[in-house]
Amino acid sequence: MVKKSDNPAVSYRIHCAEELPPPCGAVIFGASGDLAMRKLIPSLFGLFQKQFLPDRFFLLGFARTEMDDAEFRHKIGQRLREAASGEDAEIEKFADLCHYLVGDYQTADSYRRLSEALGELGQKHGAGDRLIFYLSVPPRIYGGIVEGLGKAGLLDEADGEVWRRLVFEKPFGHDLASARELDRALAARLAESQIYRIDHYLGKETVQNIMMLRFANTVFEPLWNRRYVDHVQITVAEDIGIEARAGYYDRAGLLRDMFQNHILQILALIAMEPPVSFAADHVRDEKVKLLSSIHPLSDRDLSENVVRAQYAGGRVNERWLPGYRQEEGVDEASTTETYVALKLFVENWRWKGVPFYLRSGKRLAAKSTEVSIVYKAVPHSIFHPLEAEDLAANVLKLSIQPREGMSLSIQAKRPGPKLCMDVLDLSFDYHEVFEPTPIDAYGRLLLDTMLGDQTLFLRSDNIDIAWRLLTPILEDWQKGESALAALHFYPAGGQGPREADGLLARDGRGWYAL
């Protein structure tokens, strides 16, 4: 639909289109766990509030924790009230759509009972025979659940009116070999059209807006190439440590946790070529082409363009924060990285010679996910005595979190003397400009799953290419012999290791501060 904005700060016309999904049901495996209660169910409730859920819908929680429908609904209500998500009446109305089934993920009887429950709930709520299965469980049991669903006949589809869609949380494997093994296990029972590999970063408004910014505006696309762009920085920084995730994190590390999915996906959207259309496979084709164009990391690249580090203890606001090795559940001699910085090149006509600097870390000074497209400096200054190098380059910043928005820095005259210039930011904040609050990232992706839109989900070839790119780094670290294997340290609450600054300093550049 097309409507005029009511916000006086927005003077243009807004083109909005949001298809409503057909009647369906959703099953959350691991429904009693943290992810389900903290993210998934609140996101479904958000869709309910905005009237984006189907009129005929139900949610079935499936887990090993002993609980009945009433206890499950009470737990949901308690969580939503704690988050001040809505009024009691709408919380109760949503909770009436929620049911619970106790079961084991590995026994045939559990899947038989699940099949019976789904048949009854589909009829009770008028949801038809369309189902989403969300696997909010450890990846090691994905294969067993898919096998159990398949043997129970719960993966069969027919004539477009009966569909089954499975949502898988990361990580998608631990390395290239395990990712391919998982892919083979899924492909034995599922078509690619049934598989939704979720990366919640892709559901964030600013990440989605990258394509709108590039391909719906003539002002940016002509300048989006090696002729005008000096370099690109992508930062995903967290101010928290590993929280209670030591069991997972000490085996995975930051490269697997953040680069294999989030950061490479953002890079793909920033650098890919225009797709033929906004259709899912056209977009995903271009992302795969882009990732395939990243220059493979040679031994020299590994020693010069990769920094690996771990946070040590540090003081923040008079509070002492322990180092990674002092976190509960972490080996005191662990070499698991909590910070990685990479310098990559994309080998194609658009980006030849333009460096992409990527960094991510935990226990840094601030929480920030940001993309900075840094343009080349002016070639000549007419503003004597200022030289060209005295004029700051234009920078387009896309802020993904904690506040979603964007800004463009330009040189502008300040009031006063004839020659008085300063940097001016042209910026906007999504939450200040747009009302009401947009659908959150998980809500966006859950809604797309109901609609059968895989645009923001990862395809198997995308996963494979990402692992192939990172495998040389992981293998080199495992050797523990090269210069790359050296583990640097940085204080908790700081900007990260000094060695990461060298990636840019050698090129006469610097990171933008957190």
DSSP class of residue 356 equals E
DSSP string covering 477-498, please? HHH--SGGGPPEEEETTBS--H
Closest C-alpha among 364, 444, 450, 371 to residue 404:
371
d(CA 224, CA 337): 33
d(CA 349, CA 175): 30
Residues 6+ apart with CB under 8 A from 207: 201, 265, 266, 269, 400
Joined tokens for residue 454: 């895989």
Closest C-alpha among 25, 198, 217 to residue 117:
25
Does residue 430 sit in helix, strand or coil?
helix
Token pair 């990171």 in the structure block, residue: 511
Q: How many residues does the chain have?
A: 514
DSSP string covering 105-153, please? TT-HHHHHHHHHHHHHHHHHHT-TTEEEEEE-S-GGGHHHHHHHHHHTT
Number of neighbours of residue 345 by Cβ within 10 angstroms? 16
Please indicate whether residue 262 is annotated as part of the active site. yes
Q: How remote is the C-alpha of 409 from its chain's centroid?
A: 26
Residue 451's region, left for phi above 0, alpha for psi from -120 to 50, else beta, is: alpha
Number of neighbours of residue 334 by Cβ within 10 angstroms? 17
Does residue 377 sit in helix, strand or coil?
coil
Q: Which DSSP helix (H) or strand (E) runs through 187?
A: helix 176-187
User: What burial letters (b/e) apply to 466-502, b meaning 16+ CB within 10 Å?
Assistant: bbebbbbbbebbeeeeeebeebbbbbbbbbbbebbbe
Token pair 């892709």 in the structure block, residue: 202
**Annotated catalytic residue: which of 125, 174, 262, 282?**
262
- Residues 265, 201, 458, 171, Cα dihedral to 10°: 100
Active site residues: 262
